[in-house]
Amino acid sequence: MIGRILLQLAILLLFAPLLLGVITKTKALFAGRVGPPLLQPYFDLFRLWRKGFVISRTTTWVFLAGPVVGLVVPLLAAMLIPFGGLGAPISFSGDLILFVYLFGLARFFTAAAALDTGSSFEGMGAAREVTFACLAEPTVLFALLVLARGAGSLALGDLLGPQLAAQWHGNGGASLGLILVCLFVVLLVENSRIPFDDPNTHLELTMIHEVMVLDHSGPAFGMILYGAAMKLLVLGALLVRVALPVQTGSLLLDLLVFLAGLLGLAVLIGVVESTMARLKLPRVPQVLVGTTLLSIFALVLVLR
pTM for this prediction: 0.94
**Helices (H), strands (E): how many in the chain?**
12, 0
DSSP 218-274: HHHHHHHHHHHHHHHHHHHHHHHHHH-----S-HHHHHHHHHHHHHHHHHHHHHHHH
Over the chain (304 residues), the average pLDDT of each successive run of 10 is 86 95 94 92 94 86 94 95 86 92 94 91 87 92 93 90 85 91 94 83 66 88 94 95 87 92 96 90 91 95 87
Label residue 116 exposed, middle or buried (CB < 10 Å: 0-12, 13-18, 19+).
Answer: buried
DSSP 170-196: TTTHHHHHHHHHHHHHHHHHHTT-TTT
Could you tell me if 15 and 4 are in contact, meaning their C-beta atoms sit under 8 angstroms apart?
Answer: no
CA distance 284 to 270: 19
Task: Using alpha carbons, list the distances in angstroms from residue 196 to 207, 208, 229.
Answer: 10, 9, 17
pLDDT score, position 298: 95
CA distance 31 to 35: 9
pLDDT score, position 207: 67
CA distance 151 to 96: 13
Q: What is the CA radius of gyration of the chain?
A: 19
DSSP 49-107: HTSPP---TT--HHHHHHHHHHHHHHHHHHTTS-BTTBPPSS--TTHHHHHHHHHHHHH
CA distance 241 to 185: 16
pLDDT score, position 202: 62
The one-character DSSP state at 153 is -
